[in-house]
Structure 1
Amino acid sequence: MIILAIESSCDETSAAVIANGQIQSNVVATQLIHTLYGGVVPELASRAHQQHILPVVDQALNDAKVTKKDLDAIAFTKGPGLLGALLVGTSFAKALALGLKVQLIDVHHMQAHVLAHFIDDPKPAFPFLCLTVSGGHTQIVRVDSPLEMKIIGETRDDAVGEAFDKTAKLLDLPYPGGPLIDKNAAHGDPYKYAFPLPEMPGLDFSFSGIKTSFMYFLQKQTRENPLFITENMDDICASIQHTLVDILLKKLKKASRETGISEIAIAGGVSANSGLRQSIKELGDKLSWNVYIPAFEYCTDNAAMIAMAAHYKYLAGDFCPQTVSPMARMEF
């Protein structure tokens, strides 16, 4: 069983090949043009996907040492994501599957992030909890099988990835700012500055308030000292990163306690954050959790995770019609 998978939900054009559950190739083309605008420009992203998708797919097939005639199915990201970007991947996948007369598989982007844990060993045992954290999502997901997942907590407003990027922008750090906060935080004092933690019921999150609090904090400090940010960048980054990670782990700890589940995973772009990775390891040691953290290459958007999700859908006979459109059938 050989599947070609395509990921085009945002600003990464990626293709991967999976054979009998083993990733054979994973090619990613990153769009650097968005750094000029401080964020992803949807129209530019769509145009870049059009330019990149053919060479990326060709390289993925070559790296895997397979041809189009060897393929049993074509998989693609159906959403969530930027509509124009999704259309490029969807249209390409549908046309290729139709031309080759093979099955078509649509994959939910966030489910694929969770299933990235099944690319390499060690793999979590079912059931497990997965904290999925990215620029667009912050969720705690109970995972009972590869195709049975339930969101038990999520953000009521902004995602934690957006909070990292917006706070970075307030510090005048270039886009994408989240990784730069992480880099500076490694040299700072995480307890130097305190920020109020949101009070949300149950297992849900909120990050809009902390962004506002952070903005007012910077305004006050820079009025008193115009060089405050420059002189204290490392400590500011360490403190805000510590606060955001603390919000995530407090809810994850509560979810584990309420469900009785000690198999704990993280996924999504923010799972590449070194502060989060280290903190969840330390908490896991303290609470006797089995903690699973994906390799860096499978944290950010990539087609290998789409391929792994497609593998399980193929085994279940869960295919989609040629009439499927991006953002359709978006239930988790």
Structure 2
Amino acid sequence: MAERIVLGIESSCDETGVGLVRLDASGRVELLADAVASSVDQHARFGGVVPEIASRAHLEAMVPTMRRALDDSGLRLSDVDGVAVTAGPGLAGALMVGVAAAKSYAAALDVPLYGVNHLAGHVAVDTLEHGPLPERCLALLVSGGHSQLLLVEGVAKSLTQIGSTIDDAAGEAYDKVARLLELPYPGGPPIDKHAERGDPSAIDFPRGLTGPRDSRHDFSFSGVKTAVARWVEQARREDRAVPVNDVCASFQEAVADVLTAKAVRAAQDHEIDTLVISGGVAANSRLSALAAERCEAAGITLRVPRPRLCTDNGAMIAALGAHVVAAEGKPSPLTLGADPGLPVSTVLVS
């Protein structure tokens, strides 16, 4: 197989990402550029992503971000051999911007187009950090919109969901708790920072779906979010100062406890010895530390990409596109559309 340059475009939510990777003759993937423009500041005052604002921000950022990625890589558009783009899941309007841009670049360059799954991209990005994945591994995807356990049997071929949240995703719970405590949006970083100075055992917040009759692999974070809200409201009614550091540490401990315990259990249930954690919440310090501790005890290899690659970016889509190319995946038609509800089982839309 000849060397290929793959361009990746990501626009599923509030980050406009453009990545460039090199796929060599042996099938290894090398990151050449990862340019991201975020509209998070425009959403902060609303406490969450506003779809229309996100779509307009993608329109404004797409070309400048593309130019920055090309400049960073030292490449020209004419060097690109294939274009990968997030076809779903995500916000409909935001996805449409990225898909339209990708189709335009693919048509103008006369190169193949690959509409790929955003969630599979979060798994594929780890190969830029740690090299090829084993034939079978488990992925824990934790972000603002997703908390899922995925059985991966070839990142470009087969992903099977074996567990998911039945209500709030972990990232959503972080955002809602942060808003309750009057902390900035998005909630993950400020809660993590306050938790460093707090006592994780100060408040015994509940661990959802951990009873003997509950689902072994599904998640629920609505209960812990509600428990935090009631605890804080009670303290305020009694005119007691809310110990923000302790609340953050105790809440974070509850979330990390459930995520890591269920991930390790799922790996053992499926006789898997490699766990990949990705998504924005994967950058959380307590989650990564507890996962490392429990994986080591269970004899499981833990792989976590660096924080920059955990959040939404074009590099992950370029990486997935490169793996699809290596697996000789069928290109997508230029009639490719955005699919906000694209199932994780569909890695490539062809």
Shorter-normalised TM-score: what interval?
over 0.9
Structure 1 CA distance, aligned partners of 2:236 and 2:135?
50
Paired residues of 1:124 and 1:265 also in contact (CA < 8 A): no
- Percentage identity across aligned positions? 40
* 2:182 aligned to which of 162, 172, 190: 172
Structure 2 CA distance, aligned partners of 1:259 and 1:100?
44
SS class of match (1:156):
coil
- Give the counterpart letter for 1:321 in structure 2: P
Q: In the alignment, does 2:39 pair up with 1:27?
A: no
- Give the counterpart letter for 2:151 in structure 1: R
Instruction: Give the aligned partner of residue 139 of structure 1.
Output: 148
Instruction: Give the aligned partner of residue 247 of structure 2.
Output: 236
Instruction: Give the aligned partner of residue 226 of structure 2.
Output: 212
Name whichever of 206-215 and 51-60 sits farther off. Answer: 206-215
Cα distance 1:263–1:178, how it changes in 2: closer, same or farther (>3 A)? same
Structure 1 CA distance, aligned partners of 2:284 and 2:9?
25
State the TM-score, normalizing by the size of structure 2: 0.91
SS class of match (1:198):
coil
What are the within-5 Å matches in structure 2 for residues 33-44 of structure 1? 33-44=42-53
- Give the counterpart letter for 2:21 in structure 1: I
Q: CA deviation at 1:329?
A: 8.2
Structure 1 CA distance, aligned partners of 2:132 and 2:285?
20
| Structure 2 residues not aligned, in runs of 5+ | 24-28, 346-350
Q: CA deviation at 1:127?
A: 1.2
Aligned residue pairs, count: 329
Instruction: Give the aligned partner of residue 153 of structure 1.
Output: 163
* 1:60 aligned to which of 66, 69, 91: 69
Q: CA deviation at 1:123?
A: 4.8
Structure 2 CA distance, aligned partners of 1:124 and 1:164?
30
Structure 1 CA distance, aligned partners of 2:11 and 2:336?
16
Structure 1 CA distance, aligned partners of 2:198 and 2:132?
33
Instruction: Give the aligned partner of residue 189 of structure 1.
Output: 199
Cα distance 1:275–1:123, how it changes in 2: closer, same or farther (>3 A)? farther
Instruction: Give the aligned partner of residue 278 of structure 1.
Output: 289
Q: In the alignment, does 2:15 pair up with 1:12?
A: yes
Q: CA deviation at 1:124?
A: 4.0
Deviations 1:3-26 (A, max 9, x none): 111111111111011112211101
Q: CA deviation at 1:225?
A: 2.5
Paired residues of 1:74 and 1:97 also in contact (CA < 8 A): yes
Structure 2 CA distance, aligned partners of 1:35 and 1:328?
23
| Structure 1 residues not aligned, in runs of 5+ | none
* 2:215 aligned to which of 186, 201, 210: 201
Structure 1 CA distance, aligned partners of 2:83 and 2:261?
40
Q: CA deviation at 1:252?
A: 1.2
SS class of match (1:119):
helix
Deviating beyond 4 angstroms after TM superposition, the runs of 4 or more aligned structure 1 residues are none
Paired residues of 1:124 and 1:292 also in contact (CA < 8 A): no
Structure 1 CA distance, aligned partners of 2:315 and 2:95?
17
Deviations 1:102-141 (A, max 9, x none): 1101110010001111012255423111110011111111
State the TM-score, normalizing by the size of structure 1: 0.96
Paired residues of 1:313 and 1:319 also in contact (CA < 8 A): no
Q: In the alignment, does 2:89 pair up with 1:76?
A: no
Q: CA deviation at 1:176?
A: 0.9
Structure 2 CA distance, aligned partners of 1:171 and 1:287?
36
Paired residues of 1:15 and 1:27 also in contact (CA < 8 A): yes
